[in-house]
Amino acid sequence: MASSIRWAKIEDIIRVIRTISEIGGTVSFGPFIRWPKTKISKMRKSIIHRTTTETDITIELNIDGTGKYRIQTPIGFLTHMLESFAKHGLFDITMSAAGDLHVDQHHLVEDCGIALGQAFKQALGDKKGINRAGYFVYPMDEALAVVAVDIGGRPYLQFEAEFKRRFCGELDTDLLEDFFQGFATHLGANVVVRMPYGRSDHHKIEAIFKAFAKAMKMACSTDPRAIENIPSTKGSIDDSDH
The binding site for Mn ion (CB under 5 A) comprises: 206
Q: How far is the CB of 147 from Mn ion (least distance, A)?
A: 17
Q: How far is the CB of 84 from Mn ion (least distance, A)?
A: 7
Q: Are strands 69-72 and 92-99 parallel, antiparallel or unpaired?
A: parallel
Q: How far is the CB of 206 from Mn ion (least distance, A)?
A: 5
Distance of alpha carbon 34 from alpha carbon 114, whole angstroms: 43
Whose Cβ is closer to Mn ion: residue 124's or residue 195's?
195
Whose Cβ is closer to Mn ion: residue 81's or residue 90's?
81
Distance of alpha carbon 186 from alpha carbon 180, whole angstroms: 10
Please identify the residue of the shown chain whose CB is closest to the bound Mn ion. Answer: 206
Give, in degrees to the nearest 5, the angle at Cα 141 between 140 and 145. Answer: 35
Q: How far is the CB of 107 from Mn ion (least distance, A)?
A: 25
Whose Cβ is closer to Mn ion: residue 77's or residue 183's?
77
Distance of alpha carbon 211 from alpha carbon 88, whole angstroms: 9
Whose Cβ is closer to Mn ion: residue 201's or residue 206's?
206
CA atoms within 13 A on the CB side of 154: 10
